Each structure stands twice: as structure tokens, then as C-alpha cells.
Amino acid sequence: MSIPLNWYLILAAALFSIGLFGVLSRKNAIAILLGVELMLNAVNINLVAFWRYLDPVKMAGQVFAIIVFAVAAAEVAVGLALIISVYRRRRTVVADEIDLMKW
């Protein structure tokens, strides 16, 4: 394993910035969720890289990554359910058009 740790960290930082760009610049609510997924994956790469490079015997890094998997799955499920429910009422998924507090 001759890859320095900062290669992994820079890759994770790049993935995080791309995800951030996706979240802030897309109109469609589902595309925003796609950007959030990219950011969560960047965090996971960081966690697993640190686990491997600092102390591969203790499993804290991998356990944290597994909890992030579970939280990401839960968030995507609820988020997409909300989007589908809003689509049924308002027939739109563009985030800008969902701007009334009560309809």
C-alpha cells in the first residue's frame, strides 16, 4: 500500500465539492438529493481511509461508516417519499415552485 493518505482525502474533498455544487445549483428536488448522496459518500471515503491508515485493528472507522450507510438510506427513503407526496398534490418537483407554507 504505497498510496499516501492525502490522495484519498483530496479525492473525498473533490467529491464533496461536486456534491455541494449539485445541491446548490439544480432545480429538480430529486437532483438535489443526488448531490446529498455524493457528499455522504465523500464522508464515507474519508472515514474508511482514516480507519485503514491510522488503526486498522480498532473498528471505530468502519462502524461509523456503517452507521452513515444506515442514515443515508433512511434519509433517502423519507426524502423521496416526501417528494412523491408533494408531486401528487402540486404536480411539480421543481424546488423553487414549492414555496407556500400552506396550500
Partner 1 sequence: MTADKIIFLLCAVLILASALMVVTTRKLIHAALWLVAALFGVAILYAVLQASFLAVVQVVVYIGAIAILFIFAVMLTRREMLDKGVQTRSNWWLPALLGLLILAGLVFLILGQPAFGRTAAEMPAGVDTLRNLGTALVSPDAFVLPFEVASVLLLAALVGAVYIASGKKE
Residues 41-100 that bind partner 1 (CB under 8 A): 41, 44-45, 48-49, 51-53, 56-57, 59-60, 62-63, 65-67, 69-78, 80-85, 87-88, 91, 93, 96
Query: How far from 97 is each of 19, 26, 27, 35, 58, CA to CA, in Å?
Result: 22, 13, 10, 19, 48
Give the per-residue contact string, 9-28, with partner 1 (x = CB under 8 A; - = no). xxx-xxxxxxxxxxxxxxxx
Burial 52-79 (b: 16+ CB within 10 A, else e): eeeeeeeeebeebbeeeeeebeeeeeee
Pick the closer one to partner 1 by CB: 81 or 99.
Answer: 81
Pick the closer one to partner 1 by CB: 91 or 102.
Answer: 91
Amino acid identity for residue 8 in this structure: Y
The minimum distance between CB 8 and partner 1, in angstroms, equals 8
